[in-house]
Chains A and B, each alone.
Chain A
Amino acid sequence: MKDVNKKQKPFSLHLDVSDFLPADKEEKQSLVIMRESVSFWRDGARRFKKNKVAMTSLIIIILILIFAFILPSFYPYSYEQQVRESENLAPLQYSEAELKRMEAGEKVFPHFLGTDKLGRDITARLMMGSRISLLVGLVASVLVLIIGSLYGSIAGYFGGKVDLVMMRIVDIIYTIPDILIIILLMVTLKYPLQDLANTVPGFGWINDIGIGLISIFIVFSLLYWVGMARIVRGQILSLKEQEYVTAARALGASHRRIIGKHLLVNCIGPLIVTTTLQIPSAIFTESFLSFIGIGVQAPMPSLGSMAADAIGGIYSYPHRLFAPAIMISLIILSFNLLGDGLRDAFDPKLKN
């Protein structure tokens, strides 16, 4: 608005009178915010949608979820169904019995990936295995999220001696090589859990889910929350100095309310990102355990145990190994990339 006077020297202290005129209507109009304010979620979602890699991985994850959770209900073979005389079929191959049935005019659904040595359809097992892997990843991450964020926020919020003791415990758990303790726990938890399921009424559900899965969840909630706790604590430490926390305290809010309603809500970005990145690591551990034979119990398939089963026939049936191997790499890769994308979108500060 200020018209530049050529005669005015750049360093002159002369005030420009036009700067002090009252603003007219038009000028006032320009100060009115035209765009509606962008919320945290919409802002993040906008950034996320621009990220092609993250969007692709999200789509792949959705496809895998459909493959693992919805498709099995429409698929004619189940993961434990043993089709007689159709053992060890190659992909898309029909057994003689099935060919005969087809000649008789019956429709036989093809085995896309063939069958294993017990005549079980590998595609169906792959679906179920992916379902187990995804379930483990999701449930374990939620457990880690709950325990880690509670622990970390309490340590960060109260600070001082509480913080010191609590974080020392975290340090100790951090240095323990987790795979070893996990293997140990998986072996030793089996019997007490079996007892619990069989003798104590009300714990029969343990058998429904499977002892292997329950042990995996217990192990994750015991050991894997430390990373989350550290991140949350760091966030809370800086957040608790903010004015709104002082305001909440002045208004008489309880510690619980401040942590739950004010602090944790404000570190939602890092929480989402860390939880998403926890999923692939949980899936990885589960498949590792199932691969060495102490994870999910037969006949329940897991991507890890399917790979382990395939090793025996590696010379004759390499495709049996490729199917679970590709699946698991795809799941881990897309969750990793999704996590990176979410971090860039919702928590730009975390980006190094």
Chain B
Amino acid sequence: MAVFTIWLVATITFFLMFLVPGGPFLAEKSPSPATLEALNRKYGLDQPVIVQYKNYMLNLLKGDFGESIKQRGRTVGKIISTGFKVSARVGGIAILVSVLIGVPLGSIAALNRGKWLDNLIMVGATFGIAVPGFVLSTVLMIIFSVWLNWLPTYGLSSWRHYIMPVMALSFYPTAYISRLMRTSMLDVLGQDYMRTAKAKGLSQFRTLFKHALRNAILPVVTYLGPLIAYTLTGSIIIEKIFTVPGLGNEFISSITGRDYTMIMGTTIFLATLVIIMNLLVDIAYKIIDPRIKLN
């Protein structure tokens, strides 16, 4: 299933590129017919579409995305791998932050149901869901860089550079996870086994961590799949704002520069990554929760 989806994405991407008339080289200063022909031959664009498709797919199987059209001499694979290392670091930290903050916040809200703390957290979470990432990051930039002058606005050379991108990227998932956690925690706290645990004299700590949290965290685990997808695609815009030299930034510049092999490479790469991550999360979920059988 996952393999089929990846193939489908690759195929859609490939044929969408052919919808664009004129070919990739017309985007540049109009080359002479001879150079155009030479360029087309070099990238194999003179062959019929089906042959090109076959070649591209075969190369793709070998993990070869071809050469970037705009950044001459660099292969798409290389650009992706350098960009992805940066993106993965920022995204990984953001995921970690959102889980580590969202889960406790949601649990605290559930344990203080109806009190001011619960209301405060839920109001915050509602706002967190409503504010788009790019709005938040620009506002953060104004506050921390323009007004307070605490944090640098672009680049990624020290730990202080990470603060704003990570904050911007983890805001929405933190809000979402805390809402998710609150509902599932409330659900678990009302279960009979919680009363049993308390009745047999387990400490508050043990009931909470051993019984409540382990069950309540399951929806959060399911959310990890979409969360990874969100951080990967969300980073596209946040990397642009904070000029982080990651994959998202490469993706945007490839789109504005009409660098077709790059667009295709990044799309297929990111889509594959998201699909595989979803699959892994599915499997992990089934390991954590023995009630769900594999297939």
B189 an interface residue at 8 Å Cβ cutoff? no
Q: Is A177 a contact partner of B146 (Cβ separation < 8 A)?
A: no
Q: Is B130 an interface residue (CB 8 A)?
A: yes
* Closest residue on chain B to residue A340 by CB atoms: B126
A196 to B240 alpha-carbon distance, docked (Å): 32
Residue A187 at the chain B interface, CB threshold 8 Å: yes
Complex contacts, B233 vs chain A, CB 8 Å: 177, 179-180
Q: Is A333 an interface residue (CB 8 A)?
A: yes
Tell me whether B114 is interfacial, beta carbon within 8 Å: no
Q: How far is the CA of A183 from the CA of B252 in the complex (A)?
A: 9
CB contacts (< 8 Å) of A318 on chain B: these are: 142, 146
Stretch of A10-18, A44-52, A137-145, A283-291 that contacts chain B = A283-291
**Cβ contact within 8 Å between A188 and B5:** no
Q: How many A-B residue pairs have CB under 8 A?
A: 113
Say whether A352 contacts B183, CB under 8 Å. Answer: yes
Q: Is the CB–CB distance between B19 and A188 below 8 Å?
A: yes
Residue of A175, A293, A307, A310 near B274 (CB, 8 A) is: A175
In the assembled complex, the Cα of A314 lies from the Cα of B147 at a distance in Å of: 11
Q: How far is the CB of A297 from chain B (nearest CB, A)?
A: 14
By beta carbon, the residue of chain A nearest B229 is A177
The reply to whether the CB of A189 lies closer than 8 angstroms to some CB of chain B is yes
Judged by a CB distance under 8 angstroms, whether B95 is at the interface is: no
* Interchain CB contact (< 8 A) of A292 among B1, B183, B240, B263: B240
Enumerate chain B residues within 8 angstroms of A187, measured Cβ to Cβ.
20, 255, 258, 263
Which segment of A94-102, A244-252, A321-329 sits at the interface?
A321-329
Q: How close is B240's CB to chain A, nearest CB, in angstroms?
A: 6
Does B215 lie at the interface of the complex (its beta carbon under 8 Å from any beta carbon of A)?
no
The answer to whether A325 and B139 touch across the interface, beta carbons within 8 angstroms, is yes
Q: Which A residues are CB-close (under 8 A) to B271?
A: 176-177, 180-181
Q: Contact: A175 with B130, CB < 8 Å? A: no
Contact between B183 and A181, CB atoms less than 8 A apart: no
Q: Which of B135, B256, B267 is in CB contact (< 8 Å) with A307?
A: B135
Known: A189-B19, A307-B135, A325-B135. A333 touches B130 (CB 8 A): yes
Q: Which residues of B contact A22 (CB under 8 A)?
A: none
Q: How far is the CA of A77 from the CA of B184 in the complex (A)?
A: 51
The residue from A280, A288, A329 contacting B237, defined by CB atoms under 8 A apart: A288
Report yes or no: B130 in contact with A191, Cβ–Cβ below 8 A: no
Q: Are B142 and A280 in contact (CB under 8 A)?
A: no
A179 and B135 CA atoms in complex are apart in Å by 17
Q: Mark B131-152, 1 if CB is under 8 A from A, else 0.
A: 1101100110110001000000
The chain A residue sitting closest to B139, CB to CB, is A325
Task: Assess whether A184 is in contact with B141, with CB atoms less than 8 Å apart.
Answer: no
Task: Check B135–A188 contact: CB distance below 8 A.
Answer: no
B135 touches A176 (CB 8 A): no
Task: Determine if A188 and B21 form an interchain contact, defined as CB atoms under 8 angstroms apart.
Answer: no
Which of chain A's residues have a CB closer than 8 A to the CB of B141?
A: 314
Residues of chain A within 8 A of B5, CB atoms compared: 172, 175-176
Question: Does A270 touch B at the CB level, under 8 Å?
Answer: no
In the assembled complex, the Cα of A181 lies from the Cα of B10 at a distance in Å of 11
Partner of A188, one of B8, B20, B139, B146: B20
Chain B residues, Cβ within 8 Å of A304:
134
Q: When the two chains form their complex, are residues B19 and A336 in contact, meaning their CB atoms are under 8 A apart?
A: no
- B244-269 to A contact mask, C-beta < 8 Å, 1/0: 00000001100110100001001100
Q: Which A residues touch B97, using CB under 8 A?
A: none
Are A175 and B275 touching (Cβ within 8 A)?
Answer: yes
- A191 B21 Cβ-Cβ under 8 A: yes
**A322 vs B131: C-alpha distance when bound (angstroms):** 12
Could you list 15 A-B pairs, sorted by A, with CB under 8 Å?
Answer: A172-B4, A172-B8, A176-B8, A177-B229, A179-B233, A183-B255, A191-B21, A192-B21, A307-B138, A310-B138, A315-B146, A321-B139, A321-B142, A332-B131, A352-B183
Q: Chain B interface (Cβ within 8 Å of chain A)?
A: 1-2, 4-5, 8-9, 12-13, 16-17, 19-22, 126-127, 129-132, 134-135, 138-139, 141-142, 146, 183, 229, 232-233, 236-237, 240-241, 251-252, 255-256, 258, 263, 266-267, 270-271, 274-275, 278
Given A175-B5, A191-B19: 15 more A-B contacts, CB < 8 Å: A172-B4, A179-B233, A181-B271, A184-B16, A187-B20, A192-B19, A287-B134, A292-B236, A293-B256, A307-B135, A314-B138, A314-B146, A318-B142, A325-B135, A332-B132
The 8 tightest CB contacts between A and B, nearest first, are A333-B130, A179-B233, A325-B135, A177-B274, A188-B16, A332-B130, A329-B131, A318-B142
